[in-house]
Amino acid sequence: MASSRPKVVLACSQRVHEVYTTPPDLERLQAFADWEWVACEKELANDEQEIAHLIDRLKDADGLVVCGGAPHISADIMAQAPKLRIIGDMEADRFAARIAVEAAWERGIRTVDTTNGSSYPVAEWALALILISLRNAGALFRRIIAGNYGKTYDDPGYLRGELVGKRVGLIGCGHIGRRLITYLKPFDVEIWVYDPYLPKEMADALGFLLTSLENLLSQSNVIVCLAPITPRTHRMIGQRELDLIPSGAVLVNVSRGAIIDPDALVARLKRGDIIAGLDVFDPEPIPADSEIIHLDNVFLSPHIAGVTAAGAPRMFTLMVDELDRFFHGHETFFDLTPRSIANRRGSKPQR
């Protein structure tokens, strides 16, 4: 008698298998599905031997999970996996790199992505940079290093250092932004959001105001850049946009440095009337002779917001959650959809 248990194939490199797929989560997966790991090391390459081996293992598979090392899951591969009902990527297929998503949709295959496992620490670090920047902590640390422990009463951290009651503007409100909102709630802040890809009903559900980029930049006390880097967002914030930021405001970027024009950013910061907390810059690593390093009103970290030991295993934890929901007849949380793909490709927002 044929087994009613679904079969799931994990296609990834040995490193991913060792770092991401922890024993407790594999045990959870084993509780409701049979699974096997197919070692892949070519990373999206058209390696005929690896693809042939993967196709052979997919012939009776109901689910496929891909990550680093896996080939591109093309329409041809899907056509040779007649039972396949769900494909998930643990890292970065919000850019539609590893899955031919349109081909999957045409075949009725669910597509999910759990890259947002790294969103948790990014949201935490965004909150940290908000607090650090409001207190002008970068400048204070520089003073301590120089041997100056004195306090002043004209410092921005003294005058405007509390987050409570501020208006916080989020540029982009995906997984990171929505988690950051939950972290901001205890501070009784007013939240404005600019995100042309966001379903409008999300504003009512989470309690924020959807607005224009110009309104957000010109009327927020704290501005946080959370948008993905796409052709649409590259250099989205230049001199005109930076000039809209009012004196006394704080600018935080935990997304990608290339969204903000670096020369215009340095010029705006050199005016000395706003403070920035930057986890990202363009280019990276930051050149040793860059003026951004030496500005008192800047706190820098080396693009580490999403890099924690817990991040990679969490992506698999979330994927097992998705598979559990799917194979028990429930709706998945983290679907790749035309809206999410349009966002990542920088194409026209879909309403």
Number of domains the chain is built from: 2
Q: Are 82 and 173 members of one domain?
A: no
Residue 43: per-residue pLDDT: 82
Q: Are 62 and 177 members of one domain?
A: no
Catalytic residue among 15, 106, 284, 330: 284
Q: Are 80 and 176 members of one domain?
A: no
Residue 72: per-residue pLDDT: 93
- In this predicted model, what pLDDT tens digit does every residue of 79-96 receive, in sequence order? 999 999 999 999 875 666
State yes or no: is 303 an active-site residue. yes
Q: In this structure, what CATH number is given to the domain that contains residue 262?
A: 3.40.50.720
d(CA 157, CA 20): 40
Residue 274's domain spans which residues?
A: 118-300
Q: Are 219 and 294 members of one domain?
A: yes
Q: Which residues of the chain have pLDDT under 70?
A: 1-3, 93-96, 350-351
The answer to whether residue 1 is domain-embedded is no
State yes or no: is 15 an active-site residue. no
State which of 282, 300, 318 marks the end of a domain. 300
Model-level pTM?
0.94
Angle between helices 119-134 and 311-327 (to 10 degrees): 130
The answer to whether residue 351 is domain-embedded is no
The answer to whether residue 305 is domain-embedded is no
Listed in sequence order, the DSSP H helices in the chain are 14-20, 23-32, 48-58, 75-79, 101-106, 119-134, 137-145, 156-160, 175-184, 201-206, 213-219, 239-244, 262-270, 311-327, 338-345
Q: Are 92 and 137 members of one domain?
A: no
φ, ψ of residue 259 to 5 degrees: the values are -70, -30
Catalytic residue among 175, 256, 268, 314: 256
Q: Are 127 and 148 members of one domain?
A: yes
Strand runs (DSSP E) across 184-254, as ranges? 190-194, 209-210, 222-225, 250-253
Residue 68: per-residue pLDDT: 93
Residue 47: per-residue pLDDT: 86
- In this predicted model, what pLDDT tens digit does every residue of 247-259 receive, in sequence order? 999 999 999 999 9
Residue 71: per-residue pLDDT: 93
Residue 347: per-residue pLDDT: 87
Q: Are 247 and 178 members of one domain?
A: yes
Q: Are 126 and 174 members of one domain?
A: yes
d(CA 65, CA 40): 12
Report the alpha-carbon angle 226-279-239, nearest 5.
Answer: 65
Sign of the torsion formed by the C-alpha atoms of 142, 145, 146 and 149: positive
The answer to whether residue 166 is domain-embedded is yes
d(CA 21, CA 90): 10
The answer to whether residue 2 is domain-embedded is no
The answer to whether residue 274 is domain-embedded is yes
The answer to whether residue 286 is domain-embedded is yes
The answer to whether residue 261 is domain-embedded is yes
Do 269 and 85 touch, CB atoms closer than 8 A? no
Closest CA to 57 of 112, 12, 104: 12
Q: Are 63 and 198 members of one domain?
A: no
Q: Are 243 and 323 members of one domain?
A: no
Q: Are 108 and 124 members of one domain?
A: no
Catalytic residue among 160, 303, 325, 339: 303
Q: Are 276 and 186 members of one domain?
A: yes
State yes or no: is 175 an active-site residue. no
